Amino acid sequence: MEIRNLEHTDFDTLFHGFEKAFADYEIHFEKEEVRSMLIRRGYNPKLSFAAFVNNEIVAFTLNGTGTFNGIPTAYDTGTGTVKECRGQRIAGKIFTYSIPFLKEAGISQYLLEVMQNNQKAIGVYRRMDFEVTREFDCFRQTIDHIDNRKVNTDCSIEQVNADAIREAQHYCDFSPSWQNSFESIERGIAELRCLGAFLDGKMVGYCVFDIHTGDLTQIAVLRECRRKRVASRLLQEVTARMKTDFIKVLNISPNNTTMSVFLESKNIPLASRQFEMILPL
């Protein structure tokens, strides 16, 4: 077995390893979905590593790099091990191998998210000195079960660019997670849709979503313009344009009751919970 970075590994080889590692999981990943995910999460092949046997990937950690709260950060975009190689602690070996390279590249902290019901993984991360920094709620629903009854509102919906989204980030009530951040939106803007809601010529709400993955990345309304059905109108547009038969809204702060109440009022229920964990390097 050899551990090395993925700088010279083509996407098809990478996807084959990714697909094989998650072959026995309930979730199925399409090639273009994975490609889009890697772009948005800042995938850095030079600072991502895999274990190879006979030049085939048997385990990997795909790292995104960027800044988080102003700190140079590596983010666990995806970690997996093929079924026949599990139980050999290969993922831990890959992570340990990667640390000197991350530090040398100026990375100051390592960030990841983990399902709260994955106690085995959480135990491993805690033993590695990761600390829980935030908790997140994740919502999901099939589109035909979402309450999208006709909305009476004076707002108009228009396509907007990334600059408009950047200027409206203060509409959010909490700091987005790595994969929903404005930096992530900028990286993946070619595949994302950005809509603004306008009242009297002023943008008072917006949403960002991916029609191919069902991901509603951000939806927010200016505080003084809430309870005017602006978010409901935006959600109508999102669901009408989705190519998937479902919508998912990931990593909402459980302290943000406004968002949770809105989603649940639209029959988009809580599906899972995650921890955000950070390890200083």
**Closest CA relative to residue 253, chosen from 136, 175, 113:** 136
What integer pLDDT is reported at residue 188 of this predicted model? 94
State pLDDT tens for residues 19-28: 999 888 767 7
C-alpha distance from residue 90 to each of 3, 94, 117, 121, 206 (Å): 10, 6, 22, 14, 43
Is the pLDDT reported for residue 121 higher than 90? no
Average pLDDT over residues 88-116: 96
What integer pLDDT is reported at residue 152 of this predicted model? 81
What integer pLDDT is reported at residue 262 of this predicted model? 95
Provide the pLDDT confidence category of residue 30 given band limits of 50, 70 and 90.
confident
Average pLDDT over residues 8-29: 88
Report the share of the chain in percent with pLDDT over 90: 86
Which distant-in-sequence residues (6+ apart) come within 8 Å of 242 by Cβ?
Answer: 143, 209, 211, 214
C-alpha distance from residue 33 to each of 15, 18, 37, 42 (Å): 11, 12, 6, 14
Neighbours of 154 (CB within 10 A): 11
DSSP-based three-state secondary structure for 45: helix
Residue burial 194-211, b: 16+ Cβ < 10 Å; e: rest: bbbbbbeeebbbbbbbbe
Provide the pLDDT confidence category of residue 253 given band limits of 50, 70 and 90.
very high
State pLDDT tens for residues 195-238: 999 999 999 999 999 999 999 999 999 999 998 999 999 999 99
Is the pLDDT reported for residue 126 higher than 90? yes
**Closest CA relative to residue 167, chosen from 194, 187, 191:** 194
Q: Within 130-177, where are the H helices?
A: 162-167
Is the pLDDT reported for residue 148 higher than 90? no
Is the pLDDT reported for residue 153 higher than 90? no
Domains annotated for the chain, with CATH where assigned, are 2-107 (3.40.630.30), 138-273 (3.40.630.30)
What's the one-letter identity of residue 214? G
What integer pLDDT is reported at residue 239 of this predicted model? 95
